[in-house]
Structure formats: structure tokens, C-alpha cells
Structure 1
Amino acid sequence: MKIERKEYFDKLIGYKDKKIIKVITGVRRCGKSTLLSMFQDYLKTQSVSDEQIIYINFEDYEFESLWDPKALYAYLKERIIPGKMTYLIMDEIQNVKEFQRVVDSFFIKDNIDIYITGSNAYMLSGELSTLLTGRFVKIEMLPFSFYEFVQANSMEDNLERAYQKYIETSSFPYTIHLDEKSNQVREYLKGIYDAIILKDVVSRKKIADVMMLESVIRFLANNIGNPLSTKKISDTMTSDGRKINVKTVESYVSSLMESYIIYQAKRYDVKGKQYLKTLEKYYLVDIGLRNALLGSKANTDVGHILENVIYLELIRRGYDVYIGKLDQVEVDFVAQNYNGIEYYQVSASVRDEITLERELRPLKMIQDNYPKYILTLDNDPEGDFDGIRRINALDWLMKK
């Protein structure tokens, strides 16, 4: 069963036949290959013949010989149909050495529409960025949103139960086919985790101390939503008997971000309108993966788990997301896009008056007229506090 990822699918259709390279990125197993498969099916409904579609998955051993750029170029050139639009769709292209030059060579030819995917942001840096500047658009995929998860599991009638399942199992698409009551989901997530760590981090960065890398991952997973600096991570881990210097922490964190397993939210001074360079927050790409890493203690931090879910949803909706600093208080999220700014406070519950006032305070201090929200798991009617809207987080997550 293929679940239509409408948000991403519509983007591909919108860019179809446009003279721009479509680069689909995202963590391993988030659905990139399935999206491309569905796109190929769509092309065939638009009278595109099989011969006009050249699809290569570079993780398939059948195509290992094409990891050589010259071999890949020759293979593609032989199959191009003169005078007709040819669709080059290449999955996990980072396995090909100097793939940028091959892509650029076909980009400059007529009647060729190019789609490539990769599982790490490293492929977008360095030479690719230089060689193809202004020639590509990035479509960054994430695992299932809560809305997609609910639709896939037909759980529209019980959003609270759906949310519990969402954070207890996983948002990776294939896990909906697995038995969550057995170890299938956990074993599948472990496979994803191993692939990310071994293929995207350890082998590329040539990391010798894999156990130390995993200690950093678990530290970040255990501290989602907490202000951190690489020095703080280094000092805390060293005091716990795992000696690691700041430079190594920086290298590890950078690699984890490039592999899309960890996301970083920088801080933003709301009054000064400037970005700050200290005490970032980190979020994990999937709460189920966090459960697999941390075990039974993973689901005890309800507020930060919700915060993680909301952060990823804001990213899905196309916002640049920052942590807001306002004097001595903090706004959980400052979300910016071409329409302006939105401010969010996230809390598991604000039924307690003291908690409600604490969440309202930073938003009340902001003097502009951009929308301000408090998202909570409280199943209460929507509230309004001098223009600050309190909304049930699950209802907010379901809105499109």
C-alpha cells in the first residue's frame, strides 16, 4: 500500500518539465523512493512512455557499475530519446563519485527533466552547490506527519489514541505495516539507525570511536527541547565519565544534522531582531527512534515530546523555526515564512493557572501584531487571551 504524500507529490508535479533540477532529500526510509515510484506512475498517466523514464536506484546492486561517473554518463546518454522529453530519476545518487558533473552535463541539454534523491545534506554542499548554483530546488522530506499517520491508520475518530500510537511506535512510513505489539517496529528502527550511523556518518567521516558517537546521539535524544551548546554537551559527558572535547562534539553533531537524524533550532532575539549563536535546541527526526535509543524512560517527558512533534510540523509547513529570546524569558518557537512570523508556546497542559500564566507571559511581552498561539494536549474548547489563541495541539496538527 502506497500512502500519497500529497504535500511533496504536488511539489514534484508543480516542477515537472521546469528547467530546474529537483533534489529530494531526507532521512533514510522517510519515503523518497516511494514518492518517486508514485511520480513515475503519474507520468505514465500523462502519456509518458516507459522509454522516456530512466530510473536508477543506486542502492540496488544491479546498478553498482554505474557508481563510476563515466559509466553512468554513457548509460544515460545511450537511453536518451532525441526530440522527446526524457525523465532522469536517480535515487540515492550520493553513491556516485562526482555525480554533480554528470547531472550538470544532462541539465544543459534540451528535453531532459532531472530528479535526484539523497539521504544526507552533504550532497548539497561543496561542489554541487558551486557547480549547480541556481539550477536546483531542494524538496526536503520528513517521515509521516501526524495527519498522514492518522490517515494511514484510519484513526480520525480517536485523535488522542492516534497520538499515543504516533509517539510510541514511529512516524517512518513502513512501520504502519509492522506489528507494534511484537519487536518488529523496534527492530526495523534499529536497522534504520544502523544504516544512518554506519553509512551516512561513520564511513563518510571515518569515525573510529563509534561508541562515543552513539553516546552523543543518546545525549541529544535525551535532551530534546533543552538549551544546549557543544561545550555544555562536552562538559556534561566528560563529567559523566565519557571524556570528549568540544571540537569532536561539533563534528559529530554536524554529521548527525547532515544525515537528517537530528535537527537544530537556533535562537532568535525577538526584540533585537537578530540571530544568536549560543544555546541551540535539538530535535529528533522521529520520536519512535528516540524510544528505541532510550528505552522505557523515553516517553516520560510529555511536554518536550510534543514540542519535538510541533517543531517538525512547522518545518513540514515550510517555516524557518527558531527559539525566541525575549529578555529573560523564552518563546518556544518563532516560525517565519514569506507571509511573516508566528509565535508558539507548547505545553502538555495549561489547565493550572500558574502554568497558563507562565506560557502567556512571553507572548504578552511581544509588541507586534503577528499571530500568537499556545498549543496544548488539553482537550478543551479553544481559548482566546487578548488575541493569544490556545488551541488543542492535535486539532492544529490535523489542519491542512
Structure 2
Amino acid sequence: MIIRQKYLDQLLAFRDRDLVKVVTGVRRCGKSTLLDMMREHLAREGVSRERLLTFKMESMEFDGLDYRGLYQLVRKRTEGIVHPYLFFDELQEIEGWERAINSLHVDLDCDMYITGSNAYLLSSELATLLSGRYVEVEMLPLVFSEFLDFQGASLSSRAAAGMDVFELPDGSLSTAVGLFDHYRRYGGLPYLSLGTLDGAVHKAYCRSLYETVVIRDILERDRRRGRRQLTSPDLLERTCRFLADNIGNENSVNSIAGALRADGVEAANSTVDAYMGALDEAYLFYPVRRYDIKGKDLLKTGGKRYIVDTGIRNYLQGYRDSDQGRVFENMVYLQLRYEGFEVSVGKLRSGEVDFVASGSDGRAYIQVTEDMTDSATMERELRPLRAIRDAYPKFVIAARGSYPREVDGIRILGVADFFLHGRPLLV
């Protein structure tokens, strides 16, 4: 088990506090394993195993169980145990689960951890019932530095000066760019990132994940909730593929519904909006709002969407090598989100900045480009940043090419600079 220290540290920071820890994220991003990491950490610290209780809601053991049954089952298993640690995996499988969790939180002296693969987990009654007595740990698939850990890659002493070269477990060497290209193509789903990987394995795994999320999680959950808004697997899949094909593009519900209708699909705007919302709830896509840099305000229109994992996107798009610039932009977005920034698209009077990354320690403006060795392309990328008059740091992140470290106060970062040493450069 390879420790994902960032997320484990977040759980440990709230250990034994009067807060329910809720780990959210797309299926198979590592949430269940994170609970295993936490449980093993506690055991190593001397917490007895009988105090570490795990409830995996997808097990047949809990089939047909409602929230009352869950409450009674937990109370029975914790009888006589002083301060148990309770781990609930994929809790949204239990109808009315939030009532059981609220009652357990009130009635038991315990420390509670929950995972869920749908944002409805936190938009349900939980927020109201717990009245702010929970903390969310948002989990993503592996970022590039974690991917290197899963690959067993370590910086090589055989590298030439100034080069990032990694040694793999079989003794072979690879540049950071070479490993990054592999990561860009196949993404960062943890199971797929252990050892070698070929296209057939990736395709089969992503198909299984996609069908689980789209068919079971989205359509079945909508049916169980009695909403019956999402009744067409075909329309849901078409909407998903459209969004995947248009990551980083500005899209409205109206434009997406219009594009689907032009393709012969009956799709009312309200219906498309419901399907888009369901895909967002399943953490497959992240909507990103626009930020008016001059007015210092978030705008209600003109947002974009990015996909949770570029490997899933490549699976949906047939592993085409086109649109690499937008795929790279998507990867920068995910890295910024992993680092804890609030990310928006920057609006200028004329034009835009790819990202405005805001954190407790300030803000940064970021342009993203695949390659800007051409002078006209460099000027195009630098122009929006030059137009911003405040003193916050400005960056261009470039996937390829060699550039000056700084131009007119704008710092230019390559793959290794940003993805392996990112946050210290953005404060």
C-alpha cells in the first residue's frame, strides 16, 4: 500500500475531533484505500484492532439495510468498546444514511470516517443534520508526483546536470517529460498506475469504471431517489462524451443542447442541464466559473468544465493525440485543485487568462500552453498577463520547449517545475 501522505495528513489533522470526516471523489480514486491507510496508521500507534470497525456498504452484508438497521448494527458491534473508530465506505448506498450517521454522532463517543462517490452525499440532509460538524477531504486521482511514487520512479544520480531523469525499478531511465507523456495518456487512477500498463488493460478498466459510474451510480441512484429525471442512458453518454471532447471550452447548457439536437438527439435544455449536473455530482467533471479580474467578482455565465482524469478522457475519445493543449490545460487545473487552490477562469476586458488560482496566501494568474517556441505564440500567451496591473504573481506553464525563466516579470515553468515543485512557486 503506497501512502498518499497529503490525504492521510488531512485525516490525521482532524483525528478525534468532534467532526465527521467525509472523503469524497470519483470512484476508484483511492478513497477506500485511504480509510485502510488511516486504520493501519491508528493500529501502528497502538489503537487495538477491536476499536477499528469497517463497514463496506457495497457488501452483501448490508444489502437491503435501511438507516435504522445500520444504526442498530453499529450500536451492537460497538457495545462495550471505548471510543471506537468507525469507517463507512460508500455510505450513499444506504437510503437515509445521514439519519443513522447523525444519531451515531450524537449517541456514541466515537471517531467517524465516511467515503462517498457522489456530491449528493454532502448536498443531502447531512449538512443540515450535522450543522457544520463535518469536514470534507476531497480526493483526486494521482497527480504527477504521486504517479511517480506508484511507478517506483526516483531521481537518478546518472542524470546530466540540470535534467530531471528518473530511474525505474527495472533499472531503466526515463526523463520527466517521457514519464509525463505516459501519465498524460493514461491518467492517474491508482490501480492502473502500479507498474507497467498497456492500452488494452487501460481501456478495459476505464470501460468498467465508466459503466459503473454512468449506469449504476447515476441512473440507478436517480431512480432510487424517485426523481426520474435521468431516464436515457444514450443521452447521458452523449452528454458525457460531449463534455469530455470539449474540456477547457466555454459551453452553456443552451449550446450543448443545441449541438446534441443538431446531431439528431432530442434534448431539451432542462434535460441536458440535469444530465450535466449528474455527471458533476459523480465527480467526473468539475465546472469552473469565470472571474472578472477587474471587477474582482465571480460571474454567473461563461464557465468551463474539466474532466477528473485525462486517462478517462482519452478512453472516451478513442486515445486520439489531438487537442493536447487542452488536455495539458486540464492537467494544470487538476494540479492546482490538488494543491488546494480555488480555481477560476480569468476574464479581461478583451480576452481571458486560463486560470486564476486563489488561496489563503494570495492569488496567481496562469497561462497554459503546449509549446510557445514560436515568437508569435509566446507573445499571445504573455499578452493577457501583461494586461493585468496588480502585483500578484504571473506564470506561463509550458509542456514543451526551452524558455527564459522570466519575461517582463512573468515566470515561465516547465513540466518538472510546476508539477513536481508547484505550490512554493505560486505563493
Partners of 2:390 and 2:105 lie apart in 1 by: 45
Deviations 1:199-254 (A, max 9, x none): 22111224221111111111111111111111111112212222312111110111
CA contact (8 A) 1:53 1:87 kept: yes
1:9 deviation in Å?
A: 0.6
Partners of 2:89 and 2:194 lie apart in 1 by: 23
Deviations 1:169-199 (A, max 9, x none): 2310001247533511110110000010012
For residue 303 of structure 2, what is the amino acid of its counterpart?
E
Partners of 2:342 and 2:121 lie apart in 1 by: 21
Which residue is 2:163 aligned to?
A: none
Q: What TM-score do you get using the length of structure 1 for normalisation?
A: 0.96
For residue 190 of structure 2, what is the amino acid of its counterpart?
P
**CA, structure 1 residues 19+54, in 2 after alignment: closer, same or farther (shift >3 Å)?**
same
**CA, structure 1 residues 18+232, in 2 after alignment: closer, same or farther (shift >3 Å)?**
same
1:352 deviation in Å?
A: 1.1
Which residue is 2:44 aligned to?
A: 45
Q: What TM-score do you get using the length of structure 2 for normalisation?
A: 0.90
1:96 deviation in Å?
A: 1.1
1:379 deviation in Å?
A: 4.2
Which residue is 2:113 aligned to?
A: 115
Which residue is 1:34 aligned to?
A: 33
Which residue is 1:183 aligned to?
A: 200
The answer on 1:337 being equivalent to 2:363 is no
For residue 264 of structure 1, what is the amino acid of its counterpart?
P
CA contact (8 A) 1:178 1:184 kept: no
**CA, structure 1 residues 182+345, in 2 after alignment: closer, same or farther (shift >3 Å)?**
closer
CA contact (8 A) 2:151 2:194 kept: no
CA contact (8 A) 1:382 1:391 kept: no
The answer on 1:284 being equivalent to 2:307 is yes
1:83 deviation in Å?
A: 7.1
Correspondence 1:152-231 to 2 at 5 A: 152-156=150-154, 157=166, 158-177=175-194, 180-181=197-198, 183-206=200-223, 207-231=230-254
In structure 2, the gaps of 5 or more residues are 155-165, 167-174, 224-229, 423-427
Partners of 1:265 and 1:290 lie apart in 2 by: 17
Correspondence 1:384-395 to 2 at 5 A: 384-395=406-417
**CA, structure 1 residues 159+179, in 2 after alignment: closer, same or farther (shift >3 Å)?**
closer
In structure 1, the gaps of 5 or more residues are none
The answer on 1:79 being equivalent to 2:73 is no
CA contact (8 A) 1:225 1:283 kept: yes
Partners of 2:45 and 2:411 lie apart in 1 by: 45
Partners of 1:276 and 1:240 lie apart in 2 by: 30
The answer on 1:11 being equivalent to 2:2 is no
Which residue is 2:425 aligned to?
A: none
For residue 226 of structure 1, what is the amino acid of its counterpart?
N
Partners of 2:80 and 2:357 lie apart in 1 by: 46
1:320 corresponds to which of 329, 332, 342:
342
The answer on 1:247 being equivalent to 2:270 is yes
SS at structure 1 position matched to 2:115: strand
For residue 94 of structure 1, what is the amino acid of its counterpart?
Q
SS at structure 1 position matched to 2:302: strand
For residue 86 of structure 1, what is the amino acid of its counterpart?
P
SS at structure 1 position matched to 2:303: strand
Partners of 2:23 and 2:67 lie apart in 1 by: 20
1:81 deviation in Å?
A: 5.2
Partners of 2:270 and 2:109 lie apart in 1 by: 47
Partners of 2:202 and 2:411 lie apart in 1 by: 37
Deviations 1:243-279 (A, max 9, x none): 3121111101110000000111111110011111222
Which residue is 2:331 aligned to?
A: 309
The answer on 1:398 being equivalent to 2:397 is no
1:45 deviation in Å?
A: 1.0
CA contact (8 A) 1:376 1:391 kept: yes
Identity %: 38
2:395 corresponds to which of 338, 349, 373:
373
CA contact (8 A) 1:83 1:111 kept: no
